[in-house]
């Protein structure tokens, strides 16, 4: 059963990650459509999962704000998709690093709210986010003019941390509502909210940072 779930997770990731990155790079109408679909599904999953009206309203409001900041990041900063791509890559590498290192190294649990999270996974999340983003900057250096600086390094660590906190918060609510996954739309992963739990916290955080940081 575990092997089957792991296989589904790997196959889904190998298909979805390139598709998502392509959509972000392509931008325009395809990007708008994709974000709109993700928003509708995420909102639906939250409303289905939460029990009380106050939980539904508060969660929906936060999801709206989060997705709105995606458009704000795109529209307010040079109309390019590099920042969105960067945040997405940080979150994906954070999630991947945490999963791989947590599974391989195991060790003490981080919190009872998210029993699969370990201290080894946290370290792996930070390491993967740093390594992958450095490679990302190197591979895109001839396309984009952005430079990897000390400030970028700090930003990557901060976004990775916020993404992990977001993951734990959503895990807390899933345990509170007694559900394993927010949906089953993605084989091996669950729902859309299961996959973007860190991102919905990382995007608003990043938008505030970009307002106060001359990212170049």
Supply 196's token pair: 């973007």
Residue with tokens 């990775």: 160
Phi-psi region of 209 (alpha: psi -120 to 50; beta: other; left: phi over 0): alpha
Burial (0-12, 13-18, 19+ Cβ within 10 Å), 187:
middle
In the chain, domain spans: 2-211
Over residues 165-197, the pLDDT tens digits come to 999 999 889 889 988 888 888 776 678 998 899
Over residues 6-24, the pLDDT tens digits come to 566 667 777 787 888 888 8
Beta bridge partners of 114: 111
Asked whether the CA dihedral 71, 75, 80, 83 is positive or negative, the reply is negative
Over residues 30-68, the pLDDT tens digits come to 888 999 999 999 999 999 999 888 999 999 999 999 999
Supply 197's token pair: 């739990």
How much of the chain exceeds pLDDT 70, in percent? 91
Supply 175's token pair: 């345990």
Mean per-residue pLDDT over the chain, rounded = 87
- Global pTM value: 0.89
How much of the chain exceeds pLDDT 90, in percent? 50
The Cα 78–Cα 106 span in angstroms is 43
């Amino acid at each position: 059963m575990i092997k089957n779930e792991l296989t589904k997770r790997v196959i889904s990731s190998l298909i979805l990650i390139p598709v998502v990155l392509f959509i972000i790079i392509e931008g325009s109408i395809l990007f708008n459509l994709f974000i709109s679909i993700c928003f509708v599904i995420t909102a639906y999953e939250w409303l289905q999962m939460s029990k009380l009206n106050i939980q539904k309203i508060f969660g929906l409001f936060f999801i709206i704000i989060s997705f709105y900041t995606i458009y704000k990041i795109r529209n307010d900063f040079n109309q390019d998709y590099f920042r969105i791509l960067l945040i997405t890559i940080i979150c994906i590498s954070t999630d991947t690093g945490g999963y791989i290192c947590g599974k391989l190294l195991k060790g003490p649990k981080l919190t009872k709210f998210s029993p699969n999270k370990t201290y080894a996974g946290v370290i792996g999340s930070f390491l993967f986010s740093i390594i992958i983003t450095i490679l990302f900057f190197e591979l895109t250096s001839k396309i984009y003019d952005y430079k990897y600086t000390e400030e970028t390094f700090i930003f990557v660590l901060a976004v990775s941390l916020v993404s992990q906190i977001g993951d734990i918060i959503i895990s807390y609510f899933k345990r509170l509502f007694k559900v394993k996954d927010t949906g089953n739309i993605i084989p091996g992963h669950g729902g859309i909210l299961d996959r973007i739990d860190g991102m919905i916290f990382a995007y608003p955080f990043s938008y505030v940072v970009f307002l106060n940081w001359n990212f170049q």
